[in-house]
Amino acid sequence: MTSADPVSLPSDDAPILPDWPVSTQIDLADEAASDALAHRLSVVLEPGDTLLLSGALGAGKTHIARALIRSWMGNPDEPVASPTFTLVQTYASDRGEIWHADLYRLSDPQELVELGLDDAFGASLCLIEWPDRIAPDWPRACLLHLKRQDDDTRRATLMVAPGVKMAPRLAKAFAE
Ligand SMILES: Nc1ncnc2c1ncn2[C@@H]1O[C@H](COP(=O)(O)OP(=O)(O)O)[C@@H](O)[C@H]1O
Ligand SMILES: [Mg+2]
């Protein structure tokens, strides 16, 4: 894992992203590096935090969510299916509940209410793939944007909504 400089999104990437400052950026050289970041994030994240995971298909959003959930649950074998079709999967643990959502197939923002996700924001740890589906109504959160490089490397860019309490904790997890 190496630091990337300057901090900016790759020019060939045109994702829909919130208008939040970029906090930090690192390169994840392989799956193990992504697993390690997911573990560090799981240590600092708390119930009520929302982490948005953006990036193209295959960028590694589910990979990081899975590793994070397993680390949070303290069970490396926890079955974590992609919520591509169910839209939401929930996990209960001593540390609190995790909501893992994939909004790619969201047809209407009203579905967030039907799924119970609007209540989960601020109460549970929420990991949300394809958050741009509800843009511009971004939840107050941090966003991890993943961009596939030439090889297995994924460039991870952290963006932080102004005033979000989890920001210093996440920055610490990135810096370790
Ligand atoms: N550095 C890396 N970080 C995360 N995933 C990686 C990395 N290198 C290769 N991969 C692979 O890329 C794929 C990412 O798939 P997935 O996490 O389902 O993507 P997404 O949810 O963004 O569509 C997985 O097959 C994973 O093994
Ligand atoms: Mg996915």
Residues 72 and 42 sit within 8 Å (Cβ to Cβ) = yes
Do the domain assignments include residue 9? no
Domain containing residue 157: 21-175
Asked if residue 5 has pLDDT above 50, the reply is no
Do the domain assignments include residue 134? yes
Q: Which ligand is closest in space to the CA of residue 146?
A: 1
Do the domain assignments include residue 63? yes
Residue 36: the pLDDT is 98
- For residue 31, CA distances in Å to 28, 37, 38, 127, 130 come to 8, 10, 10, 19, 20
pLDDT in tens, 16-64: 999 999 999 999 999 999 999 999 999 999 999 999 999 999 999 999 9
Asked if residue 100 has pLDDT above 50, the reply is yes
Do the domain assignments include residue 6? no
Q: How many residues does the chain have?
A: 176
- Residue ID of nearest Cα to ligand 1 atom 18: 62
DSSP class per residue in 6-49 = S----TT------S--EEEEEEE-SHHHHHHHHHHHHHH--TT-
Ligand 2 mean position, distance from CA 66 (Å):
10
- Residue ID of nearest Cα to ligand 1 atom 3: 31
Q: Quick one: average pLDDT of 133-141?
A: 93
User: Domain of 131: which CATH number?
Assistant: 3.40.50.300
Do the domain assignments include residue 3? no
Asked if residue 80 has pLDDT above 60, the reply is yes
Do the domain assignments include residue 95? yes
Do the domain assignments include residue 85? yes
Atom of ligand 1 minimally distant from the CA of 65: 17
Ligand 1 mean position, distance from CA 139 (Å):
24
Mutate to test the pocket of ligand 1, among 13, 27, 30, 31 (most ligand atoms within 8 A of CB): 31
Asked if residue 6 has pLDDT above 50, the reply is no
pLDDT in tens, 12-23: 567 899 999 999
Do the domain assignments include residue 152? yes
Residue 2: the pLDDT is 43
Asked if residue 161 has pLDDT above 80, the reply is yes
Overall number of domains in the chain: 1
Would you state the structure tokens that stand for residue 101, as one six-digit string? 């959502």
